[in-house]
Amino acid sequence: MRTLVVDDEPIARGVLREELELVPAVEIVGEAENGKEAVLKIAELRPDLVFLDLQMPVMSGFEVIQNMRGLPPPVIVIVTAFDQHAIQAFEAGAIDYLLKPVHTARLTKAVERAKALLGKPVELANHLAKMAASAEALSPVASRKIIGRSGEEYHLLNTSEVLAFQAERELVWIVTARQRLLATQSLSAIEARLREPQFQRVHRNTIVNMDHIRKMSALSSQRWMITLSNSLQVTVSKRQAHNVRQILNW
């Protein structure tokens, strides 16, 4: 696969290039040090695959994706040091999202995904359709998705699928009906980002989706136990008891 490496840091480009040279079926056809140069190189070199950094001068990675309209778009793999952009990356059409420093095994897996996509016209068409999405879909405030991580895999969830967010020390778990996934942000950051009114903090360590509350049991005058649709029981703190009263008033 003809491959273009885009990163504003020369050392990062060099490291990624060295790693890619060890991966079979990859031919490095060029490099770009900013977004504007990336768009020009994509038009000139017509690569099959682009490893794209997000935070760059002149034009960001997301702006590169927006400005590829009218070009034969390549398969995009995001490579960045910041995992909070994963949702936007997938919605913009990226097939994978790699965090620096990238290990060879993880890089090989991303290349295999790209190769498989190039061999399937229908899947590739869907990929290109995502990349042609409006600028609104790329806006940080437009996303309605929650991203959870399981090992090296990222899962995109609708907010309706999330029953609760629970913090355990430095980790934050996303609780769904079937599994628990690791969040990519702190509980406070998640709370600030959520715009859906059904999410309420009931404890300093827990945010619940009120649409999934199935039972509320009074433990005392200011203490409650909430049972969610997956039978998970959550204790409401005294400080957050007013949120429970709001639920009772519905």
Closest CA to 230 of 177, 183, 189, 181: 177
Query: What is the per-residue DSSP string for 91-109?
Result: HTT-SEEEESSPPHHHHHH
Span 197-217, mean pLDDT? 89
- Write down the number of H helices and E strands in the chain: 9, 15
Other beta carbons less than 10 A from residue 197's beta carbon: 7
What are 9-34's pLDDT values in tens digits? 999 999 999 999 988 889 999 999 99
Residues in Cβ contact with 98 at an 8 Å cutoff, skipping those fewer than 6 apart? 51, 77, 78, 79, 80, 106, 107, 110
Question: SS3 of 174, please?
Answer: strand
Taking 3-state DSSP, the helix, strand and coil percentages for the chain, each rounded to the nearest 5, stand at: 35, 30, 35
Going from N- to C-terminal start, the domains of the chain cover: 2-138, 145-248
Span 178-187, mean pLDDT? 88
Task: Report the sign of the C-alpha dihedral through residues 151, 130, 139, 191, in that order.
Answer: negative
Same fold for the pair 2-138 and 145-248? no
Bigger pLDDT: 216 or 246?
A: 216
Indicate the burial class of 86 (C-beta count within 10 angstroms; 0-12, 13-18, 19 or more): buried
Q: Looking at the domain that runs over 2-138, which CATH code has it been given?
A: 3.40.50.2300
Bigger pLDDT: 118 or 206?
A: 206
Pairing of strands 213-218, 171-175: unpaired
Give me the chain's average pLDDT, please: 81
Q: What pLDDT is attached to residue 98?
A: 83
**Confidence band, pLDDT 50/70/90 cuts, at residue 206:** very high
Other beta carbons less than 10 A from residue 178's beta carbon: 7
CATH class of 145-248: mainly beta
Closest CA to 234 of 224, 246, 243: 224
- What is the residue whose two structure tokens read 């429970």? 244
Distance CA 31, CA 208 (A): 46
